[in-house]
Amino acid sequence: MLEPMDNQSIAEVFEQMAELLEFKGENPFRIRAYHNGAKAILDLDEPVAQILDDPSRKLSDVPGIGKTLVDKITVLVATGSLPQLLELQEQFPASVLAMARVPGLGAKKAARLHQELGIDNLAELKAACETDQVSGLKGFGKKSQQTILDGLAIAQAAAQRKKWVNADGWVARLRSHLSGCDAIERIEFAGSYRRGRETCGDLDILVVADPAAAAMDHLETFPPRKETILRGDTKISIRVDEAFQVDMRVVADDQFGAALQYFTGSQAHNVRVRSMAKAKGLKVNEYGVFRDDDPDKSIAGAEEQEVYAAVGLPWIPPELREDRLEFDWAKSGDPFDLIELKDICSDLHMHTTATDGEATIGDMADAAIARGLTAIAITDHSQRVAMARGLDPQRLREQWARIDQLRPQYEGRLTILKGIECDILEDGGMDLPDDVLAEADWVLASVHYGQRQSREQITDRILGAIANPHVTAIAHPTGRLINRREAYQVDIDAVFQAAAETSTLLELNANPSRLDLHEVHCQTASRRYNIPIVINTDAHSIDGLDVMQYGILQARRAGLQKQHVANARSWDAMKPLMGKYR
Ligand SMILES: [Zn+2]
Ligand SMILES: [Zn+2]
């Protein structure tokens, strides 16, 4: 049976429409209408189909959904597709559209390359850049040709792997779809998703199901399924989205733990586990644990714990299974006790309506209390960030006066810190004078401009900020954006060294597109240099405060415990960690 199109799928159609219309050079208002419509539908807490079915209600009453969109939704719900979208897709095949997603290129320029040079896909685009055809085009030049080449490398990688947060969205939809299958008794998502890797190449589902065929039939009715790549007796692979593969394996109940351990990986981790097993005269595989002298009888495998116990290991949290420090840690006998969301006491990086945020200080404060926090720092941008109306000394002091007014209201419930996200200027030095920074409770220093400078220049700029006694932490220390922008060139060890010497904290920015520090850097900073890490959301809205969970996942991958995370303690207990307060 064909299920009516769910809200997420309708929103995706609208996003595709918007992207294609932009590519076509359509009226921006029309494009905006589709974006807004997509958002409005995602925000609904009931299926659109339900509203359409109810004669007493009107879909056009939903804010963000105009008349034209109502017609399109009606068609979508009834037929599962939209003729206008198919037409546009005919005009601009996916391979052409992929060019629009190349960082630094964008829809307009991509469309011109398509029209003027007849470039149809990423491979042709690359060839055209390499043979210098693009730089000759009006408005392009050598520099933008190089930018496209750099962007191509990122776009190609991005096409292969989804950010964890996006994979998580697919997991939620699959879980909800599969929960409607009575044959499924147990379900777990394995692979890099379970390990919390910042990007996932595919999804691996393990289920216990009877009959197995019913579970696979049900997966094939997942509305966004594009095709079934293969189907056997106990394994099925489907494709969703453009190139995202979802594998599902049906395993026996008493082998579930062994399969989960096996398919969670990583491969490097499993190689180590198997060699430890071998030394004990055992064999570990996806079906269980077997003794060399009795290879037909599994001695463990229903639960992961048993598999680890059989080779003499405690259960290892999936986030650590990368063959980095987990085996040494396990041998030391210390409990893993990784940081958890509930350990976090404060969020010390957020923006408000004073600059590019969407909520006021009071809104953010209330939302922080609702999330169980005891302190926040208001850290709007400094004046250099003109496009976000960054604060000059006067406006910043006005904001702090406002915080003084608000504080009594929050007494005993929430500490509101006077903070700033102060730019580190391109020529070095801070964007605000020292006497202003001295009045702040909390100063984040950030590199936003001049990210293409040399390694030496950028390192010097950051070291300069760390040497400033008023700076309490370096925000998003490497500037990377996952799948979009590489980290800037920086001598990260020099940064760690200086931060450790001056007791300057380092941020793990929890925004799922940043996750900056990278987990390996985070581990080095914490373990080797003993630098306290502060996990912040960099929220620009109330909802933005909820990204803390992604920072926690990244911190767990770095092996961080409560003691390593500065803001897993109260603000008063944090102060002694910082040079500014010594
Ligand atoms: Zn920033
Ligand atoms: Zn920020």
Per-position DSSP letters for 55-73, written without gaps between them: TT--GGGSTT--HHHHHHH
User: What is the Å distance from ligand 1's center to 13 Cα?
Assistant: 32
Give distance in angstroms: CA of 357 to centre of ligand 1: 12
Instruction: Report how far ligand 1's centroid is from the alpha carbon of 580 (Å).
Output: 21
pLDDT of residue 4: 64
> How remote is the CA of residue 476 from the centroid of ligand 1, in Å?
7
Residue 475 alpha carbon to ligand 1 centre in Å: 7
Instruction: Tell how far the Cα of 546 is from the centroid of ligand 2, in angstroms.
Output: 15
> Which of 162, 227, 228, 229 has its CA nearest to residue 198?
162
Q: Where in the chain is the domain with CATH 3.20.20.140?
A: 341-580
CA of 537 to the centre of ligand 2 (A): 8
- Integer Cα distance of 453 and 490 in angstroms: 10
Topology annotation, domain 7-160 = DNA polymerase; domain 1 (1.10.150)
- Give the ligand whose atoms come closest to the C-alpha of residue 349: 2
CATH 3.30.210.10 region(s) of the chain?
256-328
How far is the centre of ligand 1, averaged over its atoms, from the C-alpha of 558 (Å)? Answer: 22
Considering every ligand atom, which ligand is closest to the CA of 420? 2
**Residue 230 corresponds to which tokens in the numbers above?**
């293969």
Query: Amino acid identity of 385?
Result: V
pLDDT at 61: 87
SS3 (DSSP) at 204: strand
Q: Residue 448 Cα, ligand 2 centroid: separation in angstroms?
A: 10
Residue 16 has a pLDDT of 87
CA distances to 254, 531, 574 from 582, in Å? 58, 16, 12
The CATH superfamily assigned to 162-250 is Beta Polymerase, domain 2 (3.30.460.10)
CB 536 within 8 A of CB 314: no
Q: Using the mean position of ligand 2's atoms as its centre, give its distance from the Cα of residue 105 in Å.
A: 25
Task: Return the closest-CA partner of residue 145 out of 160, 167, 130, 162.
Answer: 130
Q: How far is the CA of 279 from the centre of ligand 1 (A)?
A: 50
Residues spanned by CATH 3.30.460.10 within the chain?
Answer: 162-250
User: For residues 435 and 419, what is the distance between their CA atoms, to the nearest angstrom?
Assistant: 14
3-state DSSP helix/strand/coil % of the chain, to nearest 5:
50, 15, 35
Q: 256-328: what fold?
A: Beta Polymerase; domain 3 (3.30.210)
Total H helices, total E strands in the chain: 24, 17
Ligand nearest to the CA of 481: 1
Q: Cis before residue 266, ω within 30 degrees of 0? A: yes
Task: State the distance from the centre of ligand 2 to the C-alpha of 534, rounded, in angstroms.
Answer: 14
The DSSP code for 92 is S
Ligand that lies nearest to the alpha carbon of residue 537, given by its number in the listed order: 2
341-580 homologous superfamily? Metal-dependent hydrolases (3.20.20.140)
Q: What's the N-to-C CA distance of the chain in angstroms?
A: 68
Distance CA 253, CA 232 (A): 19
Ligand 1 centroid to 327 CA: how many Å?
Answer: 36
- 347 C-alpha to ligand 2 centroid (Å): 12
- The secondary element (H helix, E strand) that includes residue 149 is helix 141-160
* Ligand 1 centroid – CA 446 distance (Å): 6
Angstrom distance (rounded) from CA 582 to CA 377: 20
CA distance 360 to 351: 9
Q: What's the pLDDT score for residue 318? A: 98
Q: How far is the CA of 16 from the centre of ligand 1 (A)?
A: 29
How close is the Cα of 185 to the center of ligand 1, in Å?
45
Q: Distance from the CA of 443 to the center of ligand 1, in angstroms?
A: 12
- Cβ neighbors of 207 (< 8 A, separation 6 or more) are 178, 184, 185, 186, 187, 188, 215, 248, 249, 250, 251
Residue 163 Cα to ligand 1 middle (Å)? 20
pLDDT of residue 244: 87
Ligand 2 centre to CA of 540 (Å) is 8
Whether the bond between 93 and the residue before it is cis, its omega within 30 degrees of 0, is no
DSSP characters over 409-459 = HHTTT-EEEEEEEEEBPTTSSBSS-HHHHHH-SEEEEE--S-TTS-HHHHH
Q: How far is CA 127 from the centre of its chain?
A: 32
CATH 1.10.150.110 residue window(s) in the chain? 7-160
Going from the Cα of 472 to the center of ligand 2, the distance in angstroms, rounded, reads 15
Note the ligand closest to the C-alpha atom of 423. 1
521 Cβ contact partners less than 8 Å away, ≥ 6 residues apart: 477, 478, 492
d(CA 79, CA 71): 12
CA of 349 to the centre of ligand 2 (A): 6
Tokens of 309: 């116990």
For ligand 2, the distance from its centroid to the CA atom of residue 73, given in whole angstroms, is 37
Q: What is the CA radius of gyration of the chain?
A: 26
DSSP code for 201 = S
Distance 518 CA to ligand 2 centre (A): 17
Per the structure block, which two tokens stand in for 430?
A: 């801070």
- Element at 43 (helix H, strand E): helix 28-43
Ligand nearest to the CA of 445: 1
Look up residue 21 and give its two tokens: 């219309």
Q: Which ligand is nearest to the CA of 536?
A: 2
Cα 487 from Cα 533, distance rounded (Å): 19
**How far is residue 367's CA from residue 372's CA, in Å, rounded to a whole number?**
9
Mean pLDDT by 10 residues, the chain (582 residues): 70 88 85 89 85 88 87 87 85 78 80 87 89 89 88 73 93 96 98 97 96 97 91 92 88 97 96 96 95 92 96 97 96 96 98 95 98 98 93 98 98 98 97 98 97 95 98 97 88 97 98 95 96 98 96 98 98 97 90
Helix (H, G, I), strand (E, B) or coil at 553: helix
Query: Taking a C-beta distance cutoff of 8 angstroms, is the pair 134, 110 a contact?
Result: no
The dihedral over CA atoms of 367, 371, 376, 382, expressed in degrees to the nearest 10, equals -60
